Structure 1
Amino acid sequence: MDLPAYVERLRSGAPPKFPADANSLEFAQKLDSQDSLRHLRDEFILPTKASLKKKALDGSIPGEQGIYFVGNSLGAQPKAVREYVNAQLETWASVGVNGHFLDMDQSPLVQWQDMAEDCANKSADLVGASPSEIVYMSTLTVNLHMMMASFYKPDAKRHKVILEWKPFPSDHYAIESQIVWHGLDPAESMIKIEPDSDFLIPTEKVLATIDAHADSTALILLPGIQYWSGQLFDIPRITAYAKERGIVVGWDLAHAAGNVELKLHDWDVDFACWCTYKYINAGPGATGGAFVHERYGKVDFVDNSENPTYRPRLAGWYGGDKRVRFNMANTFVPTPGAAGYQVSNPSALDLASVAAALSIFNKTSMRDLRSKALVLTAYAEHLLDQINAEADAAKPFFKIITPRDPAQRGTQLSVLLREGLLDNIAHALEQNGVMCDKRKPDVLRVAPVPLYSRFEDVWRFMQILRGALGL
């Protein structure tokens, strides 16, 4: 069976059925030779065994490419970032403040005041929305606060926020502090959905929680992909179910954007936020993204009034319509669409990195990336199962806590190791030039990102893991 056939099987919900020789370098290299996206790996710089030993800067950049399975925490560096950042620096050095208004010839960047809009234009396929529904601003948690300031409107009847049991801590802090800010008690207003014994939260449990609190819930805010287990939530079904009951629906897509196919507009999501430093690869702390459905971005002028009507939000200068922004007036006229939710002048340096990262996504499609990821992750799962089969049945090496159904996960497999194994395995991986994320207690998060990971990388990773386990 060739790579396209594996893609077809996995997309149809059928198991991949890897052959007996799947655990071989030859088989992995055969799949790589059939990969139509393999050239994208050359767009990235990946840390190597040698570079990981660096203790001081010396002007060098890794020439080879290591195994980088930690894109779910921080994506690898695109080569384009250096070009785009240098272009911004040259513009700043050459024309100073005029860089806000000049489109420089032979530059990959637009003028500074249009950079967020340019990134939005490049992101339509990434999140399944029109560019006018996308804005790049601030960072993830700030954007969650900005969105909740507009969309979380508790009253005496509806005041609860439904979230999951183990959100990324920053999400918990943001939700809790918003509730306190409104003078409410988190113990009464935070409804946490607990997982089943297998660490997963079934869709039916989410829907049952919505039913139990429908009349008193103002907002549901869940992760598209749960960062610890790697579970992909059924975004369209949960969204529709909650909205039918009058609940505002928001999603944190930190682990979903750039990882799985999204259709935020068609799914009728109210708002969503994501970071750009994981699967989007824009660099640590890079500018985040937000989605606001088009119905909330309308700006209505009644009888040519100078005071338009629009959805209330926390406002700032850069959310103002560019046509009147430099009139320096005190009447706020928001830019139509999600861009009207901006507050501050965004960092041109950060947006240069975001634009560089998005330029690589524009050389492919989320459908093609997802297709490759389905097979990469299934192959990793197959080899992990083979390793575990060699353990004592009473004492398995690990348990994969990510859903076995490919439709319910992204490219990450969370491996819950037997107690006491994590530190030794993490050390062995790093000594062999492999970067992989660990989350205590005892979870190894394996993420072969399709933009720059090969099937050969998956196979080599498993050989190092076998050695660390004494096999």
Structure 2
Amino acid sequence: MSTVEEVIGLKALDPGLKAYDPKTATLLDEHDPLKEFRKEFRLPTNKGIKATAVQENLQEEPCVYFVGNSLGPLAKRSQELLNEELDVWATVGVTGHFDHPLKRDWMTLASKATKLLAPIVGAREEEIAVMGTLTANLHLMMSSFYKPTKERFKILCEIKPFPSDEYAFASQAALNGLDPTTTVVHLKPRANEHTLRTSDILDAIKEHSSSLALVLLSGVQYYTGQYFAMPEITKAAHDAGAPCGWDLAHGVGNVPLSLHDWDVDFAVWCTYKYLNSGPGGIGGLFVHEKWHKEKGVQYAGWWGHDEATRFEMPSVFQPIPGAQGFQQSNPSILNIASLLGSLEVFSRVHPTDPMSVIRAKSIRATAYLETLLRSTRFFVGPHDGEKVLKGEILTGADKPMKGAFTIITPRAKAERGAQLSLLFSEEAMPTVFSEMVKRGVIGDERHPGIIRFAPAPLYCSFEDLNISDAFGINAAATASFMLATGGRSSSERIFLDSLRPLNRRRRSLKPSV
């Protein structure tokens, strides 16, 4: 079994150095092949997120941005493209559709995005459409792939999918005259576990095989951060006679995908998380080429019509072959431009396989952050998650440990992307989160007790993750000793101070009062 020093690449750089050594983050950043890409983004500042505990002279410095799984930061190239398109709109107006002064005709601009997306999702260009929004695209896909019968009508999904998916499943069942409570089957983890075992998912597919109409899960689960075994689950669904679709909101741009080779039937995603397209950015969908002739478009629109005659306004719909035939209205050029700016950054990482490079750092960065978090005395094992949530973890003095937390994201690198979900007590989490922001670290809160950290590889440095000095974890002093003598007034304060990397030259807290 590999040591964490081997996983994060430290052993090859300095065999004598440990993960929690203060020098580790600097060394890892020096040898990070993606370090230059941080400059391609405008990261929110301490002032911007109201990090009031950070010193005044550092207010304009970037905060620690661990929330790219909710909204990615602005790529500088996106801002350039947006400004250019606004200028084109102002100067040439409607002629920009066919005679764009920068050779980016609006008529075909989406095709530039599909070309750059193809290697990110592992698909052929004709299998992808850049369009709509995730939930609207999900409904379009389900209208073609969810065909319930008297015998086969069930939709199999994980427990607690993103609420919009839950609403879509229920409404699709209702539209087909079915009761959502008996139609939608939720897969639940075992007792005292937070994530699903692949074997249990496969067993459930076999158990319901005679009544399954659709298997539809999240590629990466938004709440736990679990990365599902997509190839195995897709095959199992097919063996059971059911199509398999995926919500890749937290998968695209985060983990390697090979949708075509995995024989995935369809997938949908948003682009404003790991793909950094901006608030409410345009969505995307995938339809495997094997279905291009069999699965007809159920809800046609003019932008899905054959490009050669689209502007001739024919009365009979002739769809574009493949996924792009599902397009309805012309997509927002500004949204596509914003997405293109970020996709161009991805293509500079590697023109044909950017996700392999990104994934390599993701594994290292997530393991590094996890190691430092698990090194504090406030960490408890995930089997005690229910006690953590209820605030029942006690100190040696039999008093509640208010800052106690566990990590519910799987430890195995093959079962997670760039996300760790920290579970606190329901009472402590809001305080921890708000105080964390004051210290210049922003994650994502999900009630009742989760704070999600997403160390996105393109712009998060190892220094962002380095909390070792704050914990006092080194060869001479243990975290428990340093924390016990820290002079803080509460467990939350101690934990929160630990999240701010004290050894960073560009960051410092105001003196504690």
Q: TM-score, normalised by structure 1?
A: 0.89
Cα deviation 1:170-193 (Å, max 9, x = unaligned): 000001001101111112211111
Q: Does 1:226 align with 2:221?
A: yes
Alignment partners' CA distance in 1, 2:5 and 2:288: 35
Displacement after TM superposition at 1:331 (Å): 1.2
1:383 touches 1:462 (CA, 8 Å); kept in 2?
Answer: no
SS at match of 2:463: helix
Aligned to 1:81: 78
Query: Secondary structure in 2 aligned to 1:72?
Result: coil
What is the deviation of 1:141? Answer: 0.5
Q: Helix, strand or coil for the counterpart of 1:171? A: helix
Residue from 181, 186, 191 that aligns with 1:187: 181
Q: How does 1:117-196 map to 2 (within 5 A)?
A: 117-196=111-190
On the 8 A contact 1:119/1:355 being kept in 2, the answer is yes
Distance in 2, matches of 1:17 and 1:273, equals 43
Structure 1 residue 6, shift from structure 2 partner = 3.5
Q: Taking structure 1 as reference, are residues 311 and 429 closer, same or farther at Cα in structure 2, changes over 3 Å only? A: same
* Cα deviation code 1:368-408 (max 9, x no counterpart): 00000000000011001111368847858211110011110
User: Distance in 1 between the 2:430 and 2:295 partners?
Assistant: 53
Query: Who is 1:13 aligned against?
Result: none
Segments of structure 2 that go 5 or more residues without pairing to the other structure are 52-58, 381-394, 472-491, 499-513
Distance 1:230 1:2, change over 3 A: closer
Residue 3 of structure 1: CA displacement? 11
8 Å CA contact 2:29–2:35 kept in 1: the answer is yes
User: Are 1:468 and 2:485 an aligned pair?
Assistant: no
* Aligned match for 1:199, one of 194, 203, 208: 194
2:260 to 252, 260, 265: 265
- Asked if the contact 2:4–2:371 (Cα under 8 Å) also holds between the matched residues in 1, the reply is no
Given the alignment of the two structures, is residue 451 of structure 1 paired with residue 458 of structure 2, yes or no? yes
Which amino acid in 2 is paired with 1:322?
Answer: E
Equivalents in 1 of 2:49, 2:406: separation in Å? 29
| Residue 408 (structure 1) aligned to one of 412, 415, 420 | 415
- The one of 362, 369, 372 equivalent to 2:358 is 369
Q: Choose which of 317, 322, 325 in structure 2 pairs with 1:337.
A: 322
1:358 aligns with 2:343: yes
In structure 1, how many angstroms separate the alpha carbons of the residues matched to 2:417 and 2:10? 16
Any stretches of 5+ residues in structure 1 without a counterpart?
11-15, 55-61, 299-308
Aligned match for 1:45, one of 42, 56, 74:
42
Go from structure 1 to structure 2 and tell me whether the alpha carbon gap of 1:33 and 1:470 turns closer, same or farther (over 3 Å shift): closer
Alpha-carbon distance change, 20 to 3 in structure 1, aligned in 2, over 3 angstroms: closer
Identity across the alignment (%)? 43
Correspondence for 1:435: 442
Matched, 1:384 2:373: yes
The whole-number CA distance in structure 2 between the counterparts of 1:120 and 1:176 is 31
User: Helix, strand or coil: the match of 1:280?
Assistant: coil
Which residue of the partner structure matches residue 108 of structure 2? 114
* Letter paired with 2:110: A
1:376 alignment partner, SS class: helix
**CA deviation digits over 1:442-466, x for unaligned, max 9?**
1111111001001100014983988
SS in 2 for 1:218: strand
Letter of the 2:107 counterpart = Q
CA drift at 1:63: 5.7
8 A Cα contact 2:46 2:61, kept in partner: no
Contact 1:3 1:34 in 2 (8 A): no
Partner Cα distance (1:223, 1:423) in 2: 27
CA distance in 2, matches of 1:431, 1:470: 10
Following superposition, the deviation at residue 470 of structure 1 comes to 7.1
Give the letter for the 1:333 counterpart. Q
* Candidates 378, 390, 398, aligned match of 2:405: 398
Cα distance in 2 between the residues matched to 1:2 and 1:212: 38
The one-letter amino acid paired with 1:431 is K
SS across alignment from 1:84? helix
Shift of 1:7: 5.7
1:346 corresponding residue in structure 2: 331
Aligned counterpart in structure 2 of residue 244 of structure 1, from 223, 239, 248? 239
The 3 A distance-change label for structure 1 pair 152 and 9 is farther
- Deviation at residue 419 of structure 1 after TM alignment: 4.5
TM-score by length of 2: 0.82
Q: Distance in 1 between the 2:468 and 2:175 partners? A: 47
Counterpart of 1:301 in structure 2 is none
RMSD value over aligned CA atoms?
2.7
Q: What's the offset of the Cα at 1:468?
A: 3.5
Report the counterpart of residue 6 of structure 1 in structure 2: 7
- Asked if structure 2 preserves the Cα contact closer than 8 Å seen for 1:71 and 1:279, the reply is yes
- Secondary structure of residue in 2 paired with 1:221: strand
1:274 maps to a residue whose letter is W
CA, structure 1 residues 251+389, in 2 after alignment: closer, same or farther (shift >3 Å)?
Answer: same
Q: Cα deviations across residues 243-288 of structure 1 (Å, max 9, x unaligned)? A: 1121011000000100000000000000000110111100011001
SS of match in other structure, 1:52: coil
Q: Verify the 8 A CA contact 2:135 2:168 in the aligned structure 1.
A: yes
| Separation in structure 2 between the aligned mates of residue 2 and residue 189 of structure 1, nearest angstrom | 45
Shift of the alpha carbon at 1:297? 2.2
**Cα–Cα, structure 1 residues 273 and 9, in superposed 2: closer, same or farther, change >3 Å?**
farther
In structure 1, the residue matched to 2:31 is 34
Q: CA offsets, 1:94-148, max 9 Å, x none?
A: 111111112423x6xx211212211100111110011111111011101101111
